[in-house]
């Protein structure tokens, strides 16, 4: 009998118990007393995650394995890596809060050393992620799984480096933006976790399933990133972050729209009180409509591919839920 596959909400409820217990044991009670307070703050930062990456790995695991008793502990390494990436992202962005909670840099009581301390905390969590990964794969797929984990880490760092290098460049090319989105979001959030989940099951992945998962991961990831960009137009403009929407404006906008947007790009003075702001420019120029069509086309492609997907009917239903999740963002 096949056990039902959990949806994301059900998964989060169970996974959070394992992850919170790990944070409590590894990062609060076992660290030197002098720094326990900052590690207690880590628990506050870690409680509000979507858990999308470990969930995708869970789906990959369930493609081949019906027994999910041991999977939740194995998935901890993926969320730890994501936690590390978020801490470093906050350092890069000089962010003061995340989901309404002070970042590590702002919570540390010695401001002059806060970035350095946050960097060290991120590095510690990364070391924990790799250590947990060594325990997450059965012997027959351990080498494959650890290689996949290392590739995921390498690619997301490449993506972040491209992201930083493009800061302030509003006319960045479509090609480089697609590459950044693939490395930083699509592969990282969907493709690699799916493949890691299969490795965690101990199953050998055939070429047909690998190709399908890779293609679907790319489609879901690009749609996911575009949804995020649509919802973050104003902040991206304020921070000087180029997206495929800014590329559309550069390619198809009127001269006046380009001049107005270029003045706003990277300006901290943008406010919602502006009569013509980034959202209005992107809407009138057709960039938002382009982005919405971009999302729809990729989610439709995933839906069509499910008909011939080399996975079970139960797994197909779970992937339909992921499509709906991305569409609703």
For the purposes of burial, counting CB atoms within 10 Å of the CB of 304, is it exposed (0-12), middle (13-18) or buried (19 or more)?
exposed
Instruction: Report the pLDDT value the prediction gives residue 73, as an integer from 0 to 100.
Output: 95
Cβ neighbours around 155 below 10 Å, total: 18
For residue 91, tell me if it sits in a domain: yes
CATH number assigned to the domain comprising residue 74: 1.10.600.10
Instruction: Report the pLDDT value the prediction gives residue 60, as an integer from 0 to 100.
Output: 94
Task: List the domain range (segments joined by +) for residue 65.
Answer: 1-136
Query: Tokens in use for 88?
Result: 């470093």
Asked if residue 245 lies in contact with residue 288, where contact means CB atoms within 8 angstroms, the answer is yes
Mean pLDDT of 260-276: 78
Q: What is the DSSP letter of 176?
A: H
Who has greater pLDDT, 136 or 276?
Answer: 136
Predicted confidence (pLDDT) at residue 272 exceeds the cutoff of 60 = no
The label of the residue with tokens 């962010």 reads 95
Chain centre distance of CA 144:
22
Helix or strand (DSSP H, E) at 322: helix 313-327
Predicted confidence (pLDDT) at residue 256 exceeds the cutoff of 90 = yes
Asked if residue 87 lies in contact with residue 121, where contact means CB atoms within 8 angstroms, the answer is yes
Spatial distance between the Cα atoms of 88 and 105, rounded to a whole number of angstroms: 10
The label of the residue with tokens 């994501």 reads 82
- The string of pLDDT tens digits covering residues 142-196 is 999 999 999 999 999 999 999 999 999 999 999 999 999 999 999 999 999 999 9
Helix or strand (DSSP H, E) at 98: strand 97-98
Mean pLDDT of 205-222: 94
For residue 74, tell me if it sits in a domain: yes
38-47, 74-83, 141-150, 180-189: least confident range: 38-47
For residue 42, tell me if it sits in a domain: yes
Spatial distance between the Cα atoms of 45 and 28, rounded to a whole number of angstroms: 13
Instruction: Report the pLDDT value the prediction gives residue 84, as an integer from 0 to 100.
Output: 94
273: pLDDT confidence band, cut at 50, 70 and 90? low
How many domains are contained in the chain? Answer: 1
Asked if residue 131 lies in contact with residue 97, where contact means CB atoms within 8 angstroms, the answer is no
What secondary structure, in 3-state letters, does 240-297 show? CCCCHHHHHHHHHCCHHHHHHHHHHCCCCCCCCCCCCCHHHHHHHCCHHHHHHHHHHH
Q: How far is CA 96 from CA 92, 142, 187, 310, 326, in A?
A: 11, 38, 28, 45, 27
Instruction: Report the pLDDT value the prediction gives residue 206, as an integer from 0 to 100.
Output: 86
Instruction: Report the pLDDT value the prediction gives residue 292, as an integer from 0 to 100.
Output: 98
Q: What are phi and psi of 130, to 5 degrees?
A: -70, -40
74: pLDDT confidence band, cut at 50, 70 and 90? very high
129: pLDDT confidence band, cut at 50, 70 and 90? very high
For residue 43, tell me if it sits in a domain: yes
- The string of pLDDT tens digits covering residues 101-110 is 888 888 776 6
Which of 185, 248, 199, 154 minimizes the C-alpha distance to 63? 199
Query: Tokens in use for 314?
Result: 């139960």
28-32, 41-45, 209-213: least confident range: 28-32
């Amino acid at each position: 009998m096949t056990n039902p596959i959990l949806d994301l909400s059900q998964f989060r409820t169970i996974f959070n118990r394992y992850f919170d217990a790990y944070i409590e044991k590894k990062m609060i009670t076992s660290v030197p007393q002098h720094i326990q307070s900052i590690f207690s703050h880590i628990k506050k930062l870690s409680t509000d995650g979507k858990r999308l990456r470990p969930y995708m790995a869970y789906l990959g695991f369930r493609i081949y394995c019906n027994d999910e008793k041991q999977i939740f502990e194995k998935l901890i390494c993926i969320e730890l890596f994501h936690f590390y990436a978020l801490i470093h992202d906050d350092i890069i962005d000089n962010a003061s809060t995340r989901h309404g909670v002070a970042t590590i840099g702002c919570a540390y009581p010695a401001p002059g050393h806060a970035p350095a301390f946050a960097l060290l905390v991120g590095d510690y969590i990364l070391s924990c992620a790799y250590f947990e990964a060594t325990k997450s794969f059965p012997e027959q797929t351990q080498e494959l799984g650890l290689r996949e984990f290392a590739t995921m880490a390498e690619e997301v760092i490449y993506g972040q480096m491209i992201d930083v290098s493009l800061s302030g460049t509003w006319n960045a090319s479509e090609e480089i933006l697609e590459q950044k989105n693939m490395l930083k979001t699509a592969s990282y959030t969907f493709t690699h976790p799916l493949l890691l989940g299969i490795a965690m099951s101990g199953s050998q992945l055939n070429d047909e399933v690998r190709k399908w998962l890779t293609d679907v991961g790319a489609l879901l990831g690009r749609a996911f990133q575009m949804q995020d960009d649509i919802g973050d137009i104003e902040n991206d403009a304020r921070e000087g972050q180029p997206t495929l929407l800014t590329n559309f404006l550069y390619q198809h906008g009127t001269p006046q729209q380009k001049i107005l947007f270029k003045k706003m790009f990277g300006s901290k003075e943008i406010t919602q009180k502006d009569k013509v702001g980034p959202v209005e420019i992107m809407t009138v120029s057709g960039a938002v409509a382009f982005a919405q069509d971009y999302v729809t086309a990729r989610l439709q492609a995933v839906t069509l591919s499910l008909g011939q997907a080399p996975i079970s009917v139960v797994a197909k239903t779970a992937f339909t839920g992921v499509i709906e999740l991305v569409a609703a963002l």
